[in-house]
Amino acid sequence: MSVHKQQAAPPKARLRVVNTEEQGQRIDNFLIKVLKGVPKSRIYKAVRSGEVRVNGSRIKVSYKLKSGDKVRIPPIRYAQANQPAVIPPNLLDSIPVLFEDQYFLVVDKPAGLAVHGGTGMQYGLIEAFRQLRPETEFLELVHRLDRETSGCLMLAKTRKALLALQQQLGQERTMGKYYLALVEGVWKGKTRTVNFCLTRKTETGKDKRSVVDRNGQQATSKISPITRYHQSTLATLVEIELKTGRMHQARVHCSSSGYPIAGDRLYGENEFNKKMKKLGLGRLFLHSHKLKICHPITNKPLTLEARLPCQLLSVLGKLES
Question: What is the Cα–Cα distance from 288 to 254, expressed in whole angstroms?
Answer: 15
| Cβ atoms 275, 252 nearer than 8 A | no
Question: What is the Cα–Cα distance from 220 to 176, expressed in whole angstroms?
Answer: 13
Verify whether residue 146 is a known catalytic residue: yes
Q: How far apart are the first and last CA of the chain?
A: 90
Catalytic residue from among 69, 146, 213, 264: 146
| CA 196 centroid distance within chain | 21
Write out the H or E segment, with its range, that includes residue 161. Answer: helix 159-169
Question: What is the Cα–Cα distance from 151 to 288, expressed in whole angstroms?
Answer: 4
| Cβ atoms 181, 286 nearer than 8 A | yes
Strands 140-141 and 104-109: unpaired
| Cα dihedral 133, 85, 156, 61 in deg (nearest 10) | -160
Active site residues: 146
